[in-house]
Chains A and B, each alone.
Chain A
Amino acid sequence: MTRSAVSVVTEDDPTPLVLSVARTLRASARVPELLPVLRGLSGTVVVRSKDDPQAVTIRFADGESRVDHGAAADRDLVLIVDLADRFTIVEVRGSEPTAPLADAVHSVLEPPLPPWRDAATGFWEFTGSDPGMPGQLVVTCEDEQSEYVLGDGLPRYVISGPSHTLARVFTGTDTFLDAVFTGAVSIRGTLPQLSVMAGASLKVRFRA
C-alpha cells in the first residue's frame, strides 16, 4: 500500500486508472481551494469509463482517499466519465448531477492546470535525468509564439503545441503518446526518444 502526504492511498497492484486518479487527487490536494474539499469528502464513488471496462472506486473518509480498481457494490454514486477528456462527466448515477458529492468529486478530479511553463519545469525535474532522456527539451508554445528550453545537454528534443495542451501533457493529464498520435502536439526527435518521452509522460501521469 502506498500513502501520500495528503492521504491518497492506492491498492498494492494498481491499474493505470487507479494510478492516474490517485495522482489527480494528489494534485488537487496541492491546490489551496481544493484541499479542504478533498479533506471534507465522505462517501464511496465509482468512476467508470464511458468507453471501456476501466473503473475505480474511491472511498473518501476521515480525510483519506482510498483508490481501488473496479466498481464496488456499496457505492453512493457512479460517475461515467470520458477518459479521453480528463474526467469529464457524461452521466451521474445514484444522485442528481449537481448533487454536492458529485460536484465535489468532479472538482477534485479536474484540478486547475498550472501554466504550461510551470508544468514543463515540473515534468523535466521529475524525469529529465532518467535513462535515455534527451539532454535538452525545447518546448514551443504555438499560441504564445514563445520557446522554453530545459536542460543544456544533447541531444535536443522539440515539442510544439498550444499552451493548454502543453499544460495537460506535462502534468500527465493527457498522455504524451496520445497527444502525438492525435496531432495535438508535434515533435522533432528520434523514434527511441519518442519511446522514452512516452515513458516519462506515463511516469508523471502515474507517479507524480
Chain B
Amino acid sequence: MLDTPENIGNWLRERNITSVRVEGTNLEGAFIGKNVSPRKLESGLTSGFAFADVAFGLDLGNVPQFGFAMPSWRGDLPDILLHLDPSTIVEWAPGRAAVLGDFRDKEGQPLPACPRNTLRRLTDRLDGLGYRAKVAIEIEATVFEESIHEARRKNYQDLTPLGGAAGSAYHLAKSKDWDDYMSAVARRLDELGIDWEAWNDEAAAGQIELNLAPADPVTVADSWARTRQVMREVAFGLDHCVTFMAKPTAGYGQASHVNVSLEQDGQNVFYEESGPSKVMTHFLGGVMATLPGATSFALPQITSYRRLVDLDGPPTTVTWGIANKSAAVRAVTGHPKYSRLEYRTPGADANIYLVLAAVLAGGLAGLEGKIDPPAPFEQMAWCLPPGTARIPDSISKAAAALEADELLAGVLGQDLVDYWLGTRRWEWLQFHTTGGDPDADLTTWESNRYFELP
C-alpha cells in the first residue's frame, strides 16, 4: 500500500526513480504538472505542490482570462496546491514516475473549479444514494504523417493523414504505419496499466477511435488524461503528430462519447427486461433536462460546434432514443450487464472530468427529483422540421443555456458554473476579436489554438 511517505519513498527507491511528474487537469482540460525530485515529492505529499492560480486562469492562447468576478481562491497570483492521489502512481518510464492529484486552495479546501475534485464529489454523492457509477469513454483523434515540428511550420494546415486518405470507419486496408502507431499506443497503455478495450479506424482520414474499459468515473477520467498524453508521446517518438480537435480537417469531426450506468450491490440497476428501469428513467430525465446547459461542457471550444452537422454523426437535437444513434442520448436496454446510457454530444476536445461531472449531476438531479424524461425519439433525429429543440450550436448559445440551468448549477455548484461561464465568454470574445472568422471554414486561428491543446 502506497499510503505513507515512507512507503512511497521505498517504492521510488526500488525502481531507481530520479524524477516524478506530478500531474493534474485544469479547467480547459489541459494536462498540466511539474517534474520534481524524489526528495521534493516526499516533502510535498502532505503540503501539496504549489502552482500559480493562473494554472486555472489562462486561455489556450496563453492569455489571462478576464471579464468576470473571480472566486476567493483567485487573487494576485496566489498559489493553489496540487495534492497527490498516491493510488495513481506509476512508473511512466525508466527512472521517471508519475502521479495524479487534485487542486486545493491554501486552506486545503477542494478547489471548486478543479475538474477531478468535482467529479469525485459527484461520484461520492451517488454513493450516498447507494449507487456506484460505472462509465466508459471513447477517445477519437486524428494522426498525421508529419512530425509536430513540421505541423507547426505548416500552421497545422494541409497535413497528410496517417494510413492514407481513403479513410472511412473500420477499414483494415491501412498502410502499416497507421497500425504501427496504434499498436505502439496499446503497448504503452498496457505498460502503464491503463485498461483499454478496442481501437479502430474511424470515419475521417487518419482518424482513430480508442475505447477505454469501463470503471468508476475518476479512474476512467484519469485514464483519459494519461491516454491522450501517451498518444502524443508515441506520435512524437514516431515523428508523427496527433490532435484531439473536435474537427481538425474538413472531414468528419471527432467525438468523445460517454457511457454511463449505475450499479447497486454489483447489479446494473439500469437494467429491466422490458426496457429502461425506473432508475434509468429518472437518471435520464435529469440528463435530458440539463442537456442544453451541459452542452457548454460537452462542446467547450469554438471549433467544438463545427461538428454539429445534421447527418454527419453528432447529435443536433435534444432527443433520446432506444438504440438510436442519431439522438443525443442513446439508451441501451434489456441487457443485465450492458444496459446503459450513451451520451453522444461531447467532442474530442471536451474535458472528460467535467463532462462526466455534468452527466452525473443531471442524473443525480433526475434521481433526487424523480424527473421523467420526454418520450423516446423513434425516428431519425436529424434534419427535423421546426418544433424539436436543437442542441445549442455556438459557444455563446451554450453558455446562455448553462446560465439558465438552475438544476445543473444546483448539483455541480454555482462557483464552478460561474467561473466556467466567464472562461467560455472570454473564449467567444477572443475568437471574434483576435482574428477568428465565424463565417469561414476551419480557421488558422482555431488550428493554432486547439491543435496541440487541450
Quick one: which of B406-445 are within 8 Å of A by CB? Answer: 418, 422, 428-429, 432-440
Q: A21 at the A/B interface (Cβ < 8 Å)?
A: no
Of B67-75, B196-204, B260-268, B286-294, the one with at least 4 CB within 8 A of chain A? B67-75
Judge whether B68 and A15 touch: CB under 8 Å. no
Within the complex, the shortest CB–CB distance from A198 to chain B, in Å, comes to 4
Within the complex, the shortest CB–CB distance from B57 to chain A, in Å, comes to 9
Judge whether B66 and A199 touch: CB under 8 Å. yes
Judge whether B69 and A199 touch: CB under 8 Å. yes
Q: A177 at the A/B interface (Cβ < 8 Å)?
A: yes
Contact with B along A190-203 (1 / 0, CB 8 A): 11101110110010
- Nearest opposing residue in chain B for A177, CB measure: B66
Given contacts A13-B394, A53-B440, contact A196 B435 (CB under 8 A): no
Q: A7 at the A/B interface (Cβ < 8 Å)?
A: no
A70, A177, A192: which has the most chain B beta carbons within 10 Å? Answer: A192
CA distance A53 to B439 in the complex (A): 9
Q: B120 at the A/B interface (Cβ < 8 Å)?
A: no
Could you say which residues of chain A place their CB within 8 Å of the CB of B429? 16, 202
Could you say which residues of chain B place their CB within 8 Å of the CB of A132? 68-70
Judge whether A54 and B432 touch: CB under 8 Å. yes
Judge whether B433 and A16 touch: CB under 8 Å. yes
Q: B76 at the A/B interface (Cβ < 8 Å)?
A: yes
Contact with B along A63-87 (1 / 0, CB 8 A): 0000001100000000000000000
Within the complex, the shortest CB–CB distance from A88 to chain B, in Å, comes to 17
- Nearest opposing residue in chain A for B396, CB measure: A13
- Nearest opposing residue in chain B for A192, CB measure: B70
Could you say which residues of chain B place their CB within 8 Å of the CB of A198? 66-67
Within the complex, the shortest CB–CB distance from A49 to chain B, in Å, comes to 9
Q: A183 at the A/B interface (Cβ < 8 Å)?
A: no
Contact with B along A159-190 (1 / 0, CB 8 A): 00000000000000000010000000000001
Judge whether A15 and B432 touch: CB under 8 Å. yes
Q: A52 at the A/B interface (Cβ < 8 Å)?
A: yes
Residue from B68, B75, B434 within 8 A of A196 (CB atoms): B68
Q: B77 at the A/B interface (Cβ < 8 Å)?
A: yes
Q: A47 at the A/B interface (Cβ < 8 Å)?
A: no
Judge whether A15 and B438 touch: CB under 8 Å. yes
Judge whether B435 and A53 touch: CB under 8 Å. yes
Could you say which residues of chain A place their CB within 8 Å of the CB of B66? 177, 194-195, 198-199
CA distance A131 to B70 in the complex (A): 9
CA distance A177 to B429 in the complex (A): 13
Q: Which A residues have a C-beta under 8 Å from some C-beta of B? A: 13, 15-17, 52-54, 69-70, 130-133, 177, 190-192, 194-196, 198-199, 202
Known contacts A177-B67, A199-B67, A202-B67; 4 additional CB pairs below 8 A are A132-B69, A192-B75, A196-B70, A198-B67
A to B CB contacts below 8 Å, 18 in the list:
A13-B394, A13-B396, A13-B397, A15-B432, A15-B438, A16-B433, A52-B433, A131-B418, A132-B70, A191-B75, A195-B66, A195-B67, A195-B69, A195-B70, A199-B66, A199-B67, A199-B69, A199-B422
Q: Which B residues have a C-beta under 8 Å from some C-beta of A? A: 65-70, 74-77, 394, 396-397, 418, 422, 428-429, 432-440
The 8 closest A-B pairs by CB, nearest first: A132-B69, A53-B437, A192-B70, A199-B67, A198-B66, A195-B66, A131-B69, A191-B76
